[in-house]
Structure 1
């Protein structure tokens, strides 16, 4: 008999920014030429990181940059692994006039396979950094490696369609969207005959209605649904009321089971609403900012690995958070004062939503939330 609606575990990561310095240390570094105001060679980001924390192997194996995350993913074996891939995967195109342009050599795309990434959100402010040709290359390379994606496409229908991922006894639909305030220009919006991203004009009731109708067109009985949203600026813990209302509306009106928010370079608050998980900002999973000064109060070098257990109907059973620190362009374990900073910050920011934390035996944190019956 076909089994349906089994409990699942999802791994959720924040922004995966594997361009510039990350791309340069891998086995097939791309063209290091940058078109930024102050840095003209991607290798400079590697040197800045080495100056901060010590030597970095070159060439590095794909497993190197994942560090402790690789062992944790192997040990926990989640059913699906989802990230926001915030870079173009191309050798072609021309840098768009936006100041910072991310791309990785397609030959380095096995970076995703090392940890078994199943699905990528592509609705973000870097996927079109190298123009439409860069986006079409990105889509083709992900398809060629069997990595599902959502939020960008060759046309409007493709950008707005979900990635459909198989689960034990069912399937998961991954939808991805971006907002204007995450620096996604209107010119990047996918149209009937133009590649682009699924961009939300705003977070109004009208937009919510359109998105809910779209999701319900695809959703079948027994599906679990993740809405991955690139929203807000890079820095700041504040969560606008319109984001809260939109996330609640996705759960109430569209039947979304988990809201996967990102864009901030640091962690933000967590909420459990109607027994559904809302991650307002997952922070950066991996980037090359290690040697850059500024915004120290937000500790962008610290992050979390998110492991969410959902029941047969998509309700949250548990969320475990493993603290990480980016060091020598690799994901390492956050310990001591770094771990405590993550604990205290997340607890403080999530208190607004009635959430707290308790320690786990793996040196991580488990989310504690209010019983909805009270």
Structure 2
């Protein structure tokens, strides 16, 4: 018996030793590199640092803005550690503060500095730190404003013999995004009586090839021009867009189809687009007739907001939020030729974000308009024209693309990309003073924190 016990004890010791040895051999968790975002207040100009400045800031060797901008004022560095939202809140409360946080934990309410001209989510961004987790997958979505490919735009394209020429200035930019949306204010058939006289917009269906080549994925039709030539051309437009491979949102053969969201998968992020129209001219869809997803509202389609239709939209958005990672609502609303949003826009925007929208990006006014922040959701009231022949005032020839950066869990940034529409109706990106003029028009009508500057 003693011999057996001794043998058992020896065997157990040997097994325990093997287990301990095996535990010693357990591999360390892999080390990842996470980009470090240097986040500043929107009230400060965009900051581009060289690598030496960025590294000194992270090391704690800089305590004055003089080393970064030449301004002799104290600088406070707030490290996110495990509380990025608190670090961002510190920057919102104190524009002398800078937050250091993982690039996939930033927010639209602060401005990430570039390092060596590179954004924190660019592949070669040089400022990184070790992490026990990889960088979260993120998608880059571009949203463009009103696109009109008929009237003088269409005549110009026909004269040039290139129906895709209007995209030559920004096509590469659009195509580089993981998903791209535009609002198309043109029918693709004119086989019916014009409903708005010379303001009836019909485009050659051949424009669709250029739109595809420009990387456009989702086409919004919740607007006052998709019905410009009557019912049959409107139905033809729906069919031609879908046959060409576009996702369509905001109008349809009946109310059920007009309410349907467009859902796309981009860079491991599932994105849902939902569109509404509050302008009119195009018929509102009904249970058995085609048209737009209408919410009657001031100033064009009612003295007050149709609360039944607004609640219907809220319910649709809440349902969509359970199906996707990112919800973008694109309303057609407001007053033309002003940068100031209507009270009805603000009320509807609040309803959309309360229902689950992560971003609301509007159109129709033909000027850029102000921005708002509703907790974690950003509202851009109007992007201005993207492609149009309104060359009778400066503001109608200016606009912004909006870039939404998002992971599956949160929106990281909502950024304006300014452009100017040239004499051939082609939008071209701008920087410097011309860009500043465009952004200032939006800033003047924005709410905090965007009243201090846009991202």
Name the TM tier (shorter chain): 0.7 to 0.9
Partner of 2:209: 110
Partner of 1:311: 407
Q: 1:144 aligns with which of 239, 243, 248?
A: 243
Q: 1:59 aligns with which of 147, 161, 180?
A: 161
Q: 1:217 aligns with which of 319, 322, 331?
A: 319
1:95 aligns with 2:194: yes
How does the TM-score come out when normalised to structure 1? 0.77
The answer to whether the Cα contact below 8 Å between 1:69 and 1:305 also exists between their aligned partners in 2 is no
The number of aligned residues is 314
CA distance in 1: counterparts of 2:448 and 2:188, whole angstroms: 37
CA distance in 2: counterparts of 1:191 and 1:333, whole angstroms: 40
The answer to whether the Cα contact below 8 Å between 1:86 and 1:127 also exists between their aligned partners in 2 is yes
1:239 aligns with 2:335: no
Partner of 2:183: 84
Higher relative contact order (CA 8 A, sep 6+): 1
Q: 1:194 aligns with which of 281, 289, 292?
A: 289
The answer to whether the Cα contact below 8 Å between 1:276 and 1:316 also exists between their aligned partners in 2 is no
Q: 1:235 to 1:69 in 2, by over 3 A?
A: same
CA distance in 2: counterparts of 1:100 and 1:251, whole angstroms: 33
Q: 1:61 to 1:131 in 2, by over 3 A?
A: closer
Structure 2 unaligned blocks of 5 or more: 1-135, 298-304
The answer to whether the Cα contact below 8 Å between 2:418 and 2:431 also exists between their aligned partners in 1 is no
Question: What displacement does 1:222 show?
Answer: 4.3
Question: What displacement does 1:333 show?
Answer: 3.5
- Where does 1:125-274 land on structure 2 (aligned, <5 Å)? 125-179=224-278, 182=279, 184-185=280-281, 188-202=283-297, 203=305, 205-252=307-354, 254-274=355-375
Question: What displacement does 1:247 show?
Answer: 0.7
Q: Could you give the per-residue CA deviations for residues 96-115 of structure 1, whole angstroms, max 9, x where no partner exists?
A: 15552001011222121121
How does the TM-score come out when normalised to structure 2? 0.64
Q: Residue 130 of structure 1: SS of its match in structure 2?
A: coil
CA distance in 2: counterparts of 1:320 and 1:284, whole angstroms: 14
CA distance in 1: counterparts of 2:171 and 2:436, whole angstroms: 23
Q: Could you give the per-residue CA deviations for residues 279-317 of structure 1, whole angstroms, max 9, x where no partner exists?
A: 101100011122xx3xx3x62111122212123234343
Partner of 1:372: none
CA distance in 2: counterparts of 1:211 and 1:145, whole angstroms: 28
Q: 1:24 aligns with which of 155, 162, 165?
A: 155
Structure 1 unaligned blocks of 5 or more: 30-56, 359-366, 369-374
What stretches of structure 1 move > 6 A for 4+ residues in a row? none
Q: 1:270 to 1:91 in 2, by over 3 A?
A: same
Q: 1:86 to 1:341 in 2, by over 3 A?
A: same
Question: What displacement does 1:209 show?
Answer: 2.1
CA distance in 2: counterparts of 1:169 and 1:339, whole angstroms: 32
Q: Could you give the per-residue CA deviations for residues 159-201 of structure 1, whole angstroms, max 9, x where no partner exists?
A: 111112122334222111101xx2x14x701112211111112
The answer to whether the Cα contact below 8 Å between 1:90 and 1:105 also exists between their aligned partners in 2 is yes
